[in-house]
Copies of this chain bind each other. A is one copy, B any other.
Amino acid sequence: MVQHTTLATDRLAAQREFRTELIDSGVLVATSVDGLYQRSAVFESVVRGLERRVSAEGADRYEPLLFFPPVLPRDVFVRSDYLRSFPDLTGSVDTFVGDDRDHAELLQALDSGADWTQYLTPAEVMLCSAACHPLYPSLTGTLPVGGRRMEVQGFCFRHEPSIDPARMQVFRQHEFVAVGDPEVCVAHREEWLERALRILGGLGLAVRKVVANDPFFGRAGRMLAANQRDTALKYEIVCPITSAEFPTAIASGNYHIDHFGGPFSIRTADGDTAHSACIGFGMERITLALLKTHGLDPQCWPSTVRTQLAL
């Protein structure tokens, strides 16, 4: 127990120290909200170098890259069923649809320190939880033989305030998604996990593959988490950032079975409910792993790394 506590304290101290280094060097700018950062041009140049690097790996094998905005239609979010597993991470968007009188009441509440958000109404959109969620409604219907393969990038929001710089509330995922038969999907996940290990290892990161351990919510969530581990549907590629004992997941490969094919009515050419799988690169986390591994100034990184990222 003593050792466990020491480990946890060390871990927190290491997270805080790296965060301070990132902020003092100007690579990230802190805000008043934990886990919410402004990115320097230096940070962004690494993200874009990574984008080119992983995108080149999928070239010609995938449909053209799509960039998704940070919000998605509410009905798509609901059908993704994210609320069942991770309600605590979601971001629902409210707006004001009232008249002059309602507005006057809202401002009165605001000025008197009361809860002004009671005058708001749910909008048609939610913040994205995973980059591939907005993709599935566009696949409703029957797939061509062999399924489809897509490449997408988007901002995700996860409400988990933390001082760990690798646990941001807003970050980008760059994903490669396959939909089709189970065989197509499992092969996609396996190929990309190997490819991701090669790409990230080639950038000098000490990566390895582990079975994923997602933070499913609550009592029911503990069963879902155990089931996820037992069935090994999702793997993570982890890398030490602020802790060797608790490496950070910087990419993941996830076989969804019919989790999206069902609700979004996606069918294979044979008429079966389509399966899907995705590999997601966490652009901010990989950038942080590179900054931790090679130093805070990308101009001083090994030339092989700089070349691969076209920095």
Contacts and interface: CB of A to CB of B under 8 A. Distances in A.
Given A91-B95, A93-B92, A123-B91, A68 B38 contact: yes
Contacts of A38: 66-69, 134
A120 B126 CA distance: 13
Interface string A75-86: 110100001100
Contact of A170 (B69, B97, B110, B138): B69
Nearest to A101: B218
Nearest to A152: B38
B44 A78 contact: no
B124 A161 contact: yes
A262 to B, nearest CB: 16
Contact of A78 (B69, B73, B93, B110): B110
Contacts of A31: 72-73, 76, 134, 137
A58 to B, nearest CB: 12
Interface in A41-78: 41-44, 64-73, 75-76, 78
Q: Is the interface of A mostly helix, strand, loop or mixed?
A: mixed
Interface residues of A, number: 69
B155 A70 contact: yes
A4 interface: no
A88 interface: yes
A138 B103 contact: no
A176 to B, nearest CB: 14
Given A90-B96, A106-B87, A107-B84, A73 B33 contact: yes
Contacts of A43: 67
Contacts of A76: 31-32
A117 B123 CA distance: 11
